[in-house]
Amino acid sequence: MSIMYQGVVEDRNDPLRLGRCKVRWMGLHTEDKTKLKTENLPWSHPIQPITSAAMNGIGTTPLGLVEGTWVFGFFRDGENAQLPVILGSIGGESVPLNDDDSGFRDPT
């Protein structure tokens, strides 16, 4: 059984250009960025429609997510929680950043 999670995109500069994002997932990752830095978050893969080959530069480019976007998804490896998949985004609003070391808000 897969559990759905909600999280916030913190980095979208995927070195492999696959549209992946670094997401801080609520209930799995700490809000304290000094304990879990953005660069140590796993890459989350976006789901693409069946009209996209999603390989070898063929298909739709998933460009819509930016830092601060709320997303929801699941982990395809279950309880190991190392292979996250983004199913979609959720409307939200920016919260003022009080502390540079806090997650679950727009990092910019």
Q: pLDDT grade, residue 65 (50/70/90)?
A: confident
Which pLDDT value is given to residue 55? Answer: 67
Lowest mean pLDDT among 8-12, 25-29, 52-56, 79-83: 52-56
Which pLDDT value is given to residue 73? Answer: 95
Q: pTM of the entire structure?
A: 0.80
Tell me which residue has tokens 């609003």.
93
Q: pLDDT grade, residue 68 (50/70/90)?
A: confident
Please state, in angstroms and rounded to a whole number, the distance separating the CA atoms of residues 2 and 12: 25
